[in-house]
Amino acid sequence: MLSQITKSTASHNSRSLSRLFTDTDELTDDELIKQVNELKKQIKILTLENEIIERTIMRVEPSLMHGVQQALEYALKLQSNSSLNVGSFVRSQASRVGGLDSFNSPSRTLAFSSPSRISTRKFDTSSAKLGGTIIFGSGPRVNVIERSELVTVEMEILINNLENARMKAARKHALLKAEIEEIKLREADIDKASVMFNQEVIVGGWDKIAQRIPAEIWIRFMTEWVKICDSKIGKLRLRTSTLNTQYSKLNGQIRVKTELSESLRAVDFEKLKIENGESEKLIDYKMQQLIELKKMTGDANLTLTIHKKAMMDQNNYLSNIIKSIKTREKLIVELDKERDKIQVQADSLDLKLSEVKKVRLAYEVPDVMDYVKVKAEVADLKHSVKVLENRVHIYQIALASLNKQLMSLSSRANNG
């Protein structure tokens, strides 16, 4: 197939290009420019076709490419004599129109050779063979379906390569992003540590009297910093172990899925499709049951709400009754205490009443003259008490004056 493609492509290209140079003397300048533009387009198409065929050959059977370069060089040597007229005409037309420098290159001169000339050439099998097949000559042409298949295969391969490159670039980008984040975190930790060191050791630990930083402050800062680092390391180790566990778990899941994907067949998908259909039917049935259960649950919730409301009313009434019972029990206790107090007071009043009765029975009303004599004596005694109080006051005043005189005399005696 590849040999047929190679032969047909070369012969078809040479025949199509040779037709363009027939009757060139009868063409005008515009038609010649148009023909040159068509040649450029066709050369681009042929270049793409050649690249696709070369890639296909190198991918499917690279041994067919052995000797191709030597065959091309040999064909160029054979063509150099037969294409002098065509080359001179092309150079003359290129000088008139311009833009045909690409046709003068030795890699493109092969395309302008006549198929009859190429097919009539006889050359050795060692230089004109491509893996046992003749390169130049007539053969079956590559139809549109075969070209589309080749292009489709190459496009799929390019798309896969691009996807792989994109995945690699994404992984590398994620790795670089993670490294940048790690560098930022390290930079932030370093800045934080430097600020803390400046505040606690250089600024706060400076001894103005000794004009130095004591070693104790430096050691204390380092021990605290080591403790902080140990705690952070422990947290990072725990996080790393968690991530490693998750990574191993995900790797196991990917490996299981890969093994399952390798062992799956079309029958398994059909079986899975049937099981999914049965599961969907079961899910629909369960959903209908769930809807019915939701309806029953709604009715039960409504009934429960009604009974709950009635129960709450009963509970409120019961709580009010219990509160009233408790308040009445408290009132009963207080009334019992008041009753005991009143009973005690009543007993004491009964005793007083009995004593009063006794006193009243034994009491005799005195004579009025005796009462008058007693009042007169009391009045005399009060008068005598007032007189005595006045005398005591006078004596106190006299005593105070005598004390003052005595103190003045004693002070004079001391001075004298």
Locus of tokens 């793409």: 48
- Tell me, yes or no, whether 254 and 193 share the same domain: no
**DSSP-assigned states of every residue in 27-77:** --HHHHHHHHHHHHHHHHHHHHHHHHHHHHHHHH-GGGGTTHHHHHHHHHH
Q: Is the model's pLDDT at 228 over the cut of 90?
A: no
Last residue of one domain, picked from the residues 141, 160, 181: 141
Ranked by mean pLDDT, which of 74-83, 311-320, 363-372 comes out on top?
A: 311-320
User: Which amino acid, one-letter code, is at 109?
Assistant: T
C-alpha distances in Å from residue 184, one per residue of 174, 177, 180, 243:
15, 10, 6, 21
- Tell me, yes or no, whether 113 and 12 share the same domain: yes
- Tell me, yes or no, whether 284 and 240 share the same domain: no
Residue at 192 is within a domain: yes
Q: Is the model's pLDDT at 303 over the cut of 50?
A: yes
Are the beta carbons of 135 and 39 closer than 8 angstroms?
no
The more confident residue out of 323 and 116 is: 323
The more confident residue out of 359 and 305 is: 305
pLDDT of residue 175: 92
- Tell me, yes or no, whether 87 and 157 share the same domain: no
**Calpha distance 379→390 (Å, rounded):** 17
**Residues 384, 390, 393, 397, CA torsion sign:** negative
**Calpha distance 253→117 (Å, rounded):** 65
**Domain span holding position 10:** 2-141
Residue at 336 is within a domain: no
Residue at 376 is within a domain: no
Q: Is the model's pLDDT at 141 over the cut of 90?
A: no
- Tell me, yes or no, whether 134 and 13 share the same domain: yes
Locus of tokens 């630990």: 205
- Tell me, yes or no, whether 229 and 249 share the same domain: yes
- Tell me, yes or no, whether 177 and 223 share the same domain: no
Residue at 362 is within a domain: no
Q: Reduce the DSSP state of residue 211 to 3 states and report it.
A: coil
Last residue of one domain, picked from the residues 222, 237, 263: 263
**Calpha distance 289→279 (Å, rounded):** 15
**Calpha distance 327→321 (Å, rounded):** 10
- Tell me, yes or no, whether 147 and 137 share the same domain: no
The pLDDT tens digits of the residues spanning 174-201 come to 999 999 998 998 898 889 888 888 888 8
Query: Rounded mean pLDDT of 273-299?
Result: 92
- Tell me, yes or no, whether 129 and 153 share the same domain: no
Ranked by mean pLDDT, which of 76-80, 291-295, 361-365 comes out on top?
A: 291-295
Q: Is the model's pLDDT at 17 over the cut of 90?
A: no
Query: Rounded mean pLDDT of 359-385?
Result: 83
Picking from 97-106, 164-173, 380-389, which range would have the lowest pLDDT averaged per residue?
97-106
**Residues 383, 386, 392, 396, CA torsion sign:** negative
pLDDT of residue 60: 80
pLDDT of residue 102: 38
Residue at 375 is within a domain: no
Across all residues in the chain, what is the average pLDDT? Answer: 78
Locus of tokens 């490159």: 165
- Tell me, yes or no, whether 107 and 9 share the same domain: yes
**DSSP-assigned states of every residue in 312-336:** HHHHHHHHHHHHHHHHHHHHHHHHH
Q: In total, how many domains does the chain have?
A: 4
The pLDDT tens digits of the residues spanning 269-282 come to 788 889 899 999 99
Last residue of one domain, picked from the residues 329, 351, 375: 329
- Tell me, yes or no, whether 72 and 110 share the same domain: yes
